[in-house]
Amino acid sequence: QVQLVESGGGLVQAGGSLRLSCAASGRIFRVNSVGWYRQVPEKQREWVASITSGGTPNYADSVKGRFTISRDNTKNAVYLQINSLQSEDTDVYYCNAQIISSELIVYERWGQGTQVTVSS
């Protein structure tokens, strides 16, 4: 079974930085594209950034210049660096990935989410 686990969230002051991690585990052949999303209760889940298996990033206009997505394929991990945090960034952040298992089965997985809270 393959799964995703996010980490790195927390409470931070406005203007600060965080690095979120998304790690895939299990019998993995390859992790394809990975996306980061965020959501607060009663609102739709919002896409913020994604990265292809080759490392090409894409960002939502609302986060360009402050968010940086990267990956380490040797660790099956993707990171989201968030700088100049604002109160509007307070959300639960989720990663989503297409994972190919060692049995060459394609899975789409969501992590459990990591809470980011920005205090003003």
Summarize pLDDT for 46-100 with one digit per residue, the tens. Answer: 999 999 999 999 999 999 999 999 999 999 999 999 999 999 999 999 999 999 9
Cβ-count burial 68-87 (b if 16+ within 10 Å, e if not): ebebeeeebbbbbebeebee
pLDDT of residue 8: 97
Average pLDDT over residues 104-112: 96
First to last CA, the chain: 41
Tell whether the model's pLDDT for residue 41 goes beyond 80: no
pLDDT of residue 43: 85
76 or 41: which carries more pLDDT confidence?
Answer: 76
